[in-house]
Amino acid sequence: MRKHSILGMILILLLAGCAPSFEDKQEVVQDSKSKKETAIIPKYKISDEYYQTILPFEPSKARGLVVSNLNTRYDIEEFENGLMRLAQTQFDPDDYLFQEGQMLNSSTISSWLNRKYTKSQLKEKDMKASENVGLNPVDPGKGDIDKRNEENPIYLAHILEHNYLVKTKDNSVSLGGVVIGLAMNSVHYYQKEAFGATYEQKIDSQKIKQEGEKIAAEVLKRLRNTEKLKNVPITIALFEQNEKSSVVPGNFISYTNIGQNSDSIGKWTDLDEEYFLFPSASAEKKYRDDVNTFTNFKEDVEEYFPNFNGVIGRAFYMDKQLQSLNIDIPIQFYGNSEALGFTQYVAGLVMERFPNYISVQVSITSVNGPEALIVREANQDEPTVHIYE
């Protein structure tokens, strides 16, 4: 079952006045850069399906790169949250703690995202052979530019690292595993001249998977050559990001778990995940019944405000089954009582219109910002509702 993002769940708790208390905590010892440091594990946990983290918070060594390397905020959110969801296939949240990536820094990831260079290109750039670590294909630099980009697109857009720590008997924590996400392009964008028009080259899904698996093998080799990662379990997942104009995120297409003593990739597990915009022709063609349910909800909302037409949904499917639906309702209110009445009405519609086996989140906004948030988790008897003051 697809769950809401951790940040989203924390927001709900804070809004409900149930902010976590960290007074009840456990102190452990963390080995950081060969120095023993005291870290804190808060006892509070949002859900059994979420990882606890340690304090003080250690930001990723490649913090901020994901924002510039992925196409949309939808891709960013799904790439980060989905990677944590897939981590659970190898690292149980009851046994492991989450920490942002500490092994790969910004310069390392940026260099890996480059194209591979020919010997002549290295000479022109005054680079050493040891610096030729790009994981994307060589652009020969000569010949028809369209053909070059068609044959040698940028496949790899970003690399995201998550670390998972495990507690030991001597009240300390150590690195217990690593999860690596490889964000792959479904569309390659290029320019024929500086500041000129941007052209695009679509990349076949099978080619994305094939190149992703090839890149993953090289990434694993490099990770195993890192002293701290020689024998820890590693999970690598392939994410196919959507085009820049998309209003729904891309999705994970496969993952592989590598044992702590293994330096090669065995079996890949294929994933059947996809997002759809409601309403849309593509969604109606594939999931007509679900779109009809959403349309009935949309019409009920429009009946409350006859001149309003702006309800949008983003549906997440796993194995052809609807798992969650995030709905945005941008509307203008003319008083608190109007906002309250409308929110109560929509909360009732959520319970009436949508089957209880899916998670539904409704965000009601206006030109003034967020107005209300309604969350109905799967199999939940009553929704969680917050009216922003």
Q: What digits encode the pLDDT tens for the residues 149-199?
A: 999 999 999 999 999 999 877 778 899 999 999 999 999 999 998 888 999
What distance, in Å, lies between the first and last C-alpha atoms of the chain?
Answer: 32
3-state class (DSSP) for residue 198:
strand
Looking at the whole model, is its pTM more than 0.85? yes
Per-residue model confidence (pLDDT) at position 14: 37
Which residues, at least 6 apart from 333, have a Cβ–Cβ distance to it below 8 Å?
A: 339, 342, 366, 371
- CA of 94: how far to CAs of 62, 91, 167, 171, in Å? 27, 9, 11, 16
Per-residue model confidence (pLDDT) at position 389: 79
DSSP codes joined into one string, 257-317: EE-TT--S--PPEE--EEEEEES-HHHHHH-HHHHHHHHHHHHHHHHHSTT----EEEEEE
Phi, psi of 200 (to 5 degrees): -135, 150
Taking a C-beta distance cutoff of 8 angstroms, is the pair 315, 322 a contact?
yes
Residue 50 DSSP code: S
Q: 167 is written with which tokens? A: 């507690």
Phi, psi of 57 (to 5 degrees): -65, 130
Mean pLDDT by 10 residues, the chain (389 residues): 39 39 51 56 67 84 91 96 95 93 95 95 92 95 93 97 88 91 97 91 97 98 95 97 96 96 94 97 97 96 82 97 96 83 95 96 92 95 91
Per-residue model confidence (pLDDT) at position 39: 66
Taking a C-beta distance cutoff of 8 angstroms, is the pair 188, 200 a contact?
yes
- CA of 148: how far to CAs of 47, 154, 157, 191, 201, in Å? 49, 11, 18, 12, 11
CA angle 244, 247, 252 (to 5 degrees): 80
Per-residue model confidence (pLDDT) at position 30: 63
Helix intervals (H) in 37-180 = 65-69, 73-87, 106-112, 119-125, 145-151
Virtual torsion, Cα 10, 11, 16, 20, nearest 10 deg: 30
What does the alpha-carbon distance between residue 286 and residue 1 come to, in Å, rounded to a whole number? 20
